[in-house]
Amino acid sequence: MFRNNDKHLQWPLFSSIDSLPQKQHQRLEQSWAGAFSHQFFCRIDEQPFAILSSEQDSRPTTPVNVLVGFETRNAGCGWRDEEAYDHCCFAVQVRSALGSRDVSEGHCDLRTVDNVRQRVTQHTQETGENLIERGCEQVTDAQIAAFPVQTSNLRMDSTLIAGNIRQATRLQVLVEVRQRTQRMLDEADQQRYGDEVAPSRKGASGQSISALRREDDAAHLPRIGALMQRLVREVRATDGDEPASQVLARVFQEYFIVEESVLRAREGQEWSAASLPSPDDWEATSRCKHGQGQRGSVANVSETCHPEHPFPLLVNGQRDPNTTDDAALLAAALPELAERSDVDALHTDGGSNRPQVDDLLQPHHVRQVQTAIRGLQPTEGKVGLEDMTWQTNADNGPPECVTGPGGQRAEVVGGRKAGRSVATFAASVCADGPLREQGPTQPLVRRAGNVLRFSQRAVNGAFRRQRCAEERAAERHLRPAVEATIRAITHPFRNGKAPVRGRPRVSMLRIGSAAMNNVRQISRCQRSQEAAGQAAEGSQKASGNAWKRPVLSSCAALWSRVRALLCPMPLVQPAWACSR
């Protein structure tokens, strides 16, 4: 049964936290616990999670905001479930952050946490909606509106996250999948297969592999492939819906090829990066980046970076197979970013330039500013389209006018084909200019002049290079700071490896770590503002008391004079003083 939790909105008159001394109580409110409670916990909308609860009258479950806060704090600190549970029960800061003021109330059980995770995962697989992600996005939107954070400038970057799977060889994967399929068979089927399944019927997959390593792997692959082919054909008819049967069919298709009734293993270029690297994680893929191979997924984040705002906030996050290109990640995130923010400038690295991205950015009126350009570089000494000045209409459509590097100006008209344009320069203007010898123009045959033929895609590339050059020449660069944010998000994962597997669970950890990073940014900004306010108050108090020093000095000097007049020193010392 679902019920909203509003106990944290009304504090009790007497509680365990209120028994702390005033100094410790104030320190608790100024720590991360106060920022987490006010800026995250109190902003969670519990209503979307009502679909996970029973509609019958029953005992209310643990409040949703407590469970979401538990997951967020767990992901942001890299705690194990048992460690996070101990903190939730006995740590004053954690209990205060989760809206509990008394140590005798507000406890939850790890079984409840696991059940909610399973229901969220099942809901995600059925509908494609991650409720944890939806709740954290709603909290982020509330934080942006409360401060307010300017979202006109965003920066984006991606990072690889390794899955919680072992680095298995091809033979290890095949033996493990075959063993799991054999456990699904009944005794009659196992006897029918006889000696073919006997070597791997007992023991773990590692023991079977140790026995098979006495010979060359090439001798075992055809026999394993022939057995898997029979299993796929016979098991699919009876147990096609079983997970082990689905994994068997996928592994056989990705690891073997049947050509003219001849079965052979895939080799070299026939392998795909999307091939199943482990039967424990169906969504993991393989990728080699910077000379290092990794099996897992990729996380892409978008963060505010307006120069006039004191702190950034993560606006959006994605989790996809690590074979996904950065340009595809940008294209998938752009519609949501345009809906939730006022973005007009998106700062990315050199791997996000694609013609499809330019076509998607133009309707949303978003400028892409890159730190580098991937692909062929302009020829040195030649004049390219990026060296010219282009004039477009208000809607950033096709160019209307182009001006060469020497000041040559020409009108742009449509070409014979769609998406093509032509600009004709006068012959007298190009006679001594760089467009004639070093430029991309061509002389006309029937009349005097030089013509420049180009496509809209080439102009978009020229605009991209111009913005990249402006970014490099600027004194302040906005994008590099997102690397520190990526580090802050993945820091709870040891060596960049998630402690869980599966897309829904990895997404929960990534979302929770990003939400915790936003809380830290807000807390850090609030502490700096409080310190600046205290310093300003101290200086104002010092300036307000500045008049007291000269007045007190004058009073002291006047009192010295009055005392000297009233009590003059004797000119001749008394006899008792001289005797001493």
Q: What is the pLDDT of residue 530?
A: 86
Selected residue with higher pLDDT from 307 and 200: 307
The answer on pLDDT for 445 being more than 80 is: no
DSSP state of 496: G
Q: What is the pLDDT of residue 105?
A: 76
**Is the bond preceding 148 in cis, omega lying within 30 degrees of 0?**
yes
Selected residue with higher pLDDT from 53 and 141: 141
Identify the helix (H) or strand (E) that includes residue 488: helix 482-490
Q: Where are the domains of the chain?
A: 7-129, 170-270, 387-456
Q: Considering the entire predicted model, what is its pTM? A: 0.82
Q: Are 409 and 424 in contact (CB under 8 A)?
A: no
Model pLDDT for residues 135-151, shown as the tens digit of each residue: 999 999 999 999 989 99
Question: What's the average model confidence in pLDDT over 311-333?
Answer: 91
Q: What is the β-pairing status of strands 285-289 and 292-304?
A: antiparallel
**Alpha-helical segments (H) within 55-109:** 64-77, 81-90, 92-97
Model pLDDT for residues 147-201, shown as the tens digit of each residue: 989 999 999 999 989 888 888 888 888 888 878 877 776 666 666 665 555 555 5
The answer on pLDDT for 300 being more than 90 is: yes
Q: What CA–CA distances, in Å, run from 295 to 162, 289, 298?
A: 6, 11, 10
Model pLDDT for residues 388-432, shown as the tens digit of each residue: 889 887 666 778 898 888 788 888 888 888 888 888 888 766 655
Length of the chain (residues)? 580
Give dist(CA 113, CA 101) in Å, integer: 21
Q: Are 373 and 465 in contact (CB under 8 A)?
A: yes
Q: What CA–CA distances, in Å, run from 578 to 404, 482, 568, 573?
A: 106, 84, 19, 7
Q: What is the pLDDT of residue 485?
A: 94
Model pLDDT for residues 72-83, shown as the tens digit of each residue: 999 999 898 999
Q: How confident is the model at residue 580 (pLDDT cuts 50, 70, 90)?
A: very low
Give dist(CA 370, CA 161) in Å, integer: 24
Q: What is the pLDDT of residue 381?
A: 75
Sort 160 into a burial class: Cβ within 10 Å, 0-12 / 13-18 / 19+: middle
Give dist(CA 408, CA 424) in Å, integer: 10
Residues with Cβ within 8 Å of residue 501, at least 6 apart in sequence: 163, 164, 165, 280, 281, 284
Model pLDDT for residues 531-560, shown as the tens digit of each residue: 888 888 777 776 666 666 677 777 777 777
- Residue indicated by tokens 């026999």: 223
Range scoring the smallest mean pLDDT among 41-55, 146-160, 324-338, 378-392? 378-392
Question: What's the average model confidence in pLDDT over 356-380?
Answer: 86
Look up residue 85 and give its two tokens.
């549970």
Model pLDDT for residues 507-523, shown as the tens digit of each residue: 899 999 999 999 999 99
Give dist(CA 273, CA 40) in Å, integer: 39
Look up residue 304 and give its two tokens.
């505010």
Identify the helix (H) or strand (E) that includes residue 382: none
Selected residue with higher pLDDT from 573 and 421: 421
Q: What CA–CA distances, in Å, run from 543 to 111, 197, 371, 532, 555?
A: 60, 89, 48, 16, 20
Angle (CA) 511 513 519, round 5°: 105
Q: Are 159 and 299 in contact (CB under 8 A)?
A: yes
What's at 185, amino acid-wise?
A: L
